[in-house]
């Protein structure tokens, strides 16, 4: 009987996570957030490429809602017009209902599609009672870094989606991080019902750290010179299994994964030492991967690209460069552990 109660609690909790994950964009984003926000604060993804119009020097924000700025009695002045800086503030803090509806629909549809794919790839045929486990020997803990990157990337995606609806950046960052962590936690909870896997608390901590890093990077400017990135080339073992139709999910092909921390060295030199603008295109990145058969850890140092430094003020181009900046594209690199190997192009 105790087992039945515990099982019921866990399934109820799982359903609650699913409801929160898919319904928060519809319920929360439809509320006006006009009482908060950062006026004129540049995007952390376009800190040096977007020039915002300055707010008039005589304007002082005192925490009131834009609605209270308009005179309570319209007869006071028939030609009264809302100041431009107030219009800007209002636009930055009022969700667009149509975009909210689109976001909610896309999120729900994508959630069901992703859940279906993961259920077939990981959870099909091995369901059982919810349980915990810790596998510190698995993939030499490279999977923990993968969870940090996954939490960070999911937070970025949800952040951009919520900001697109009209939510101001300050709130969108928190919504994005919360939804990104909830999504990762949902996947980890499903693992808890798998006889092959199990709920790993350190994986969940990695998911949380990724979402927390995303928030910290927004509020702490020096962190904006660093970016987590990912590159992948199918390993020989994975290709052999695929050719034999014994296909394993590529997400578990950690021999082909490389996780990078990229430092925007060119942009740092440009900002602090007035280096030429073209240097902003170049980063220096450190990578972590696994050797064949996962028998040793490998570390790399290489060149990387700063896509955010590419020209173009078009909205679509800027979003495209932002997305690309989470991937480490082919570039020269050198392996520094376990031995020195030069790669003219490391994928």
Q: Which residue has the higher pLDDT, 252 or 55?
A: 252
Count of all residues that appear for the chain in the document: 347
DSSP 215-284: HHHHH-GGGGGEEEEEEE---HHHHHHHHTT----GGG-TTSEEEEEEE-HHHHHHHHH---GGGGGEEE
- What integer pLDDT is reported at residue 92 of this predicted model? 56
- Residue entry with tokens 């149509």: 98
How does residue 246 score in pLDDT terms, banded at 50, 70 and 90? low
Q: Is residue 161 predicted with pLDDT exceeding 60?
A: yes
Quick check: is 247 in a domain?
Answer: yes
The whole domain housing 246 covers 18-30+93-346
Quick check: is 61 in a domain?
Answer: no
Q: Is residue 35 predicted with pLDDT exceeding 50?
A: no
- What integer pLDDT is reported at residue 87 of this predicted model? 54
How does residue 312 score in pLDDT terms, banded at 50, 70 and 90? confident
| Lowest mean pLDDT across 52-56, 149-153, 260-264, 285-289 | 52-56
Quick check: is 160 in a domain?
Answer: yes
Q: What is the pLDDT of residues 60-83, one digit of tens each?
A: 444 433 333 334 444 444 455 656
Q: Which residue has the higher pLDDT, 187 or 9?
A: 187
Sign of CA dihedral 9, 14, 19, 25: positive
User: How many angstroms separate the CA atoms of 205 and 207, rounded?
Assistant: 5
Q: Is residue 29 predicted with pLDDT exceeding 80?
A: no
Dihedral pair phi/psi, residue 313, rounded to 5°: -100, 5
Average pLDDT of the chain, as a whole number: 79
Q: How many domains does the chain have?
A: 1
Quick check: is 51 in a domain?
Answer: no
- What integer pLDDT is reported at residue 90 of this predicted model? 52
| Lowest mean pLDDT across 57-71, 129-143, 216-230 | 57-71
Judge contact between 166 and 279, C-beta under 8 A: no
Sign of CA dihedral 244, 250, 254, 255: positive
- What integer pLDDT is reported at residue 278 of this predicted model? 95
Mean pLDDT of 176-190: 95
pTM flag (> 0.85): no
| Lowest mean pLDDT across 115-124, 128-137, 330-339 | 115-124
Quick check: is 218 in a domain?
Answer: yes
- What integer pLDDT is reported at residue 126 of this predicted model? 86
Q: Which residue has the higher pLDDT, 97 or 4?
A: 97
Q: Is residue 42 predicted with pLDDT exceeding 50?
A: no
Quick check: is 210 in a domain?
Answer: yes
Quick check: is 66 in a domain?
Answer: no
Judge contact between 257 and 142, C-beta under 8 A: yes
Q: Is residue 302 predicted with pLDDT exceeding 80?
A: yes
Closest CA to 30 of 177, 175, 184, 214: 175
Judge contact between 89 and 66, C-beta under 8 A: yes
How does residue 197 score in pLDDT terms, banded at 50, 70 and 90? confident
Q: Which residue has the higher pLDDT, 330 or 95?
A: 330
Alpha-helical (H) ranges within the chain are: 2-27, 84-91, 97-118, 142-164, 169-192, 201-219, 236-243, 265-273, 315-324
- What integer pLDDT is reported at residue 320 of this predicted model? 93
- What integer pLDDT is reported at residue 244 of this predicted model? 63
- What integer pLDDT is reported at residue 192 of this predicted model? 93
How does residue 326 score in pLDDT terms, banded at 50, 70 and 90? very high
Quick check: is 98 in a domain?
Answer: yes
How does residue 284 score in pLDDT terms, banded at 50, 70 and 90? very high
- What integer pLDDT is reported at residue 91 of this predicted model? 56
């Amino acid at each position: 009987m105790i087992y039945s109660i515990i099982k019921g609690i866990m399934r109820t909790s799982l359903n609650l996570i699913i409801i929160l994950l898919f319904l928060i964009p519809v319920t929360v984003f439809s509320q006006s957030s006009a009482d908060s926000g950062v006026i004129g604060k540049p995007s952390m993804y376009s800190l040096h490429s977007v020039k915002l119009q300055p707010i008039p020097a005589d304007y002082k924000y005192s925490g009131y809602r834009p609605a209270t700025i308009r005179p309570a009695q319209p007869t006071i002045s028939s030609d009264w017009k809302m100041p431009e800086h107030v219009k800007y503030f209002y636009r930055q803090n009022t969700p667009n209902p149509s975009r909210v509806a689109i976001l909610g629909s896309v999120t729900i549809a994508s959630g069901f599609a992703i859940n279906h794919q993961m259920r077939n790839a990981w959870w099909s045929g091995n369901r059982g009672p919810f349980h915990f486990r810790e596998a510190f020997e698995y993939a030499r803990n490279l999977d923990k870094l993968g969870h940090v990157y996954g939490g960070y990337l999911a937070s970025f995606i949800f952040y951009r989606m919520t900001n697109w609806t009209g939510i101001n950046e300050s709130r969108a960052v928190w919504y994005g991080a919360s939804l990104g962590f909830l999504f990762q936690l949902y996947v980890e909870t499903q693992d808890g019902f798998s006889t092959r896997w199990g709920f790993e608390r350190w994986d969940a901590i990695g998911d949380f750290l990724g979402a927390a890093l995303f928030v910290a990077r927004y509020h702490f400017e020096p962190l904006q010179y660093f970016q987590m990135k990912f590159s992948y080339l199918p390993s020989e073992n994975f290709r052999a299994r695929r050719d034999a139709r014994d296909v394993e999910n590529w997400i578990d092909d950690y021999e082909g994964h490389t996780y990078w921390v990229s430092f925007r060295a060119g942009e740092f030199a440009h900002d602090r030492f007035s280096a030429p603008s073209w240097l902003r295109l170049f980063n220096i990145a450190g990578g972590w991967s696994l050797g064949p058969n996962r028998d040793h850890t490998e570390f790399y140092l290489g060149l990387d690209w700063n896509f955010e430094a590419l020209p173009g003020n078009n909205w679509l181009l800027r979003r495209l460069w932002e997305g690309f900046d989470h991937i480490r594209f082919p570039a020269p690199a050198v392996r520094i552990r376990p031995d020195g190997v030069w790669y003219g192009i490391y994928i």
